[in-house]
Structure 1
Amino acid sequence: MMKAVIIDDDKKNISILKSLFEQLTLRIEVAGEAGSADEAGILIPQLKPDLVFLDIEMPYGNAFDLLDQLMPVDFEIIFITAFDEYTLKAFRYSALDYLLKPVDIDELDNAVKRAEARIGLKNINTQLSNLFYNINTTLLSTGKIAMPVKDGFDFVNLDEIISCHAENNYTIVSTNSGKKYTCSKTIKEYEELLPARTFFRIHHSWIVNANLIRKYHKEGRSGYVELTGGATIPVAYRRKDDFLAKFGFS
């Protein structure tokens, strides 16, 4: 018997899942339920489930915020999502199971059986790392990147991003609409993820969109740049030559 937890902010969806379990006579014991990422972050470590049914879009933090908090995990996951085709490709490439709303009974049956077979393999953390990478690399081919918000993701056009700023192990991504996103990825991860032809790490704490640099000011040893919107960012001395070379100066 697999011990399961269901994470969904809609109690109707939880009831539907339980009803489907009964119809399929699946070997699942629902040990607990939670309606938000915060509740789930407390419940899951307490109950230590074998399997978590995880709705991606929740109030006050989404599924990926929760998993960032819990990593590494020691349970299997079946995601429940209404996401678009680009994001579903990322799930497929990562060999993780997902169910589309409304949940189909046959797909649920197959997903649970696959999860049961995977429990002893302990591959879930590698699969999750691949998922986080694939969500954004799949989107990048469309000129977008996924930014976490409390009820899911904003898909932001790359040309809207002005800068990325490191704050400890988080990164603040600023856009030309004035909106800022606090992301759990490090500045190094964004340096590797964003296309180098457009984004340049100008300082150990800053990545800027080269297309949105309005002016370079020669001041001190290395100077600073002025971006669209008026923000000014220092150029690190050891990055100055590479920065100038990018624009044809040396």
Structure 2
Amino acid sequence: MVKTIIIDDEEPAREYLKKLIDRYFPNKFTVVKKCKDIEQGFHSIKHYKPDLVFLDIKMQNGSGFDLLKQFDVVDFEVIFTTAHSEYAIEAIKQSALDYLLKPIDQMDLYSAVKKYQKKTEYKNELDRIRLLLENIDPGNHLHPKIAFPTEDGYKLIKSNSIQYCKAEGNYSRIFLVDGNSFILARTLKKIDEQLPSHFFLRIHKSYLVNLNYVKEYTNTGGNYLTLINNERLPIASRKKTEVLERILER
């Protein structure tokens, strides 16, 4: 069963969403907690460790974005709910799995849930492949696990599972090869110091890239690296020479 938490400051909205989940996904999802505000939501997430959170964007005591900023690592999926369509773009920027406009339509909910299930299945398959490769070559120390500090301790991530890192103010978002990402309360400079320099390169003030996942360099309309997932990241002018040297030496 997928553990789910609903966070919304409107009781009718909380109850309606729970009824939809119970009615259409009774054997797949269980709502472990319904929360009325950010504080209750934060403590419930820490306690229940949900797989999926339905999170209202605009609440009386803050926004859903404010709640996420309280976590060093966001290790659960988020589906934003909002009555305000103008928040949709911001929800996408926050790397949410999906967003639902209120009043929530059952078909939109079904689509969001299917997206969650598909992503989970894909992640599980990648985890199985990664575990197999690690068991085949347990003595490989080229890609050590990096200990990233979190509020509760440390999150251990193997360096070759990181595709790139992006600065977000005093925070950094880590993008993994499996398509997931999480936020750390650390600057990109600090993360750069932790990761192996023979694989990672700071190509811009906002981007740190694992060169193993670069598939193309282009200089049309600027300088860019294209990664294996087809994301295109800018290269700072002062970094152009260093980037070219590192790519060519590989």
Q: TM-score range by the shorter chain?
A: 0.3 to 0.5
Normalised by the size of structure 1, how large is the TM-score? 0.46
Normalised by the size of structure 2, how large is the TM-score? 0.46
Of the two structures, which has the highest relative contact order with CA contacts closer than 8 Å and spacing of 6 or more?
1
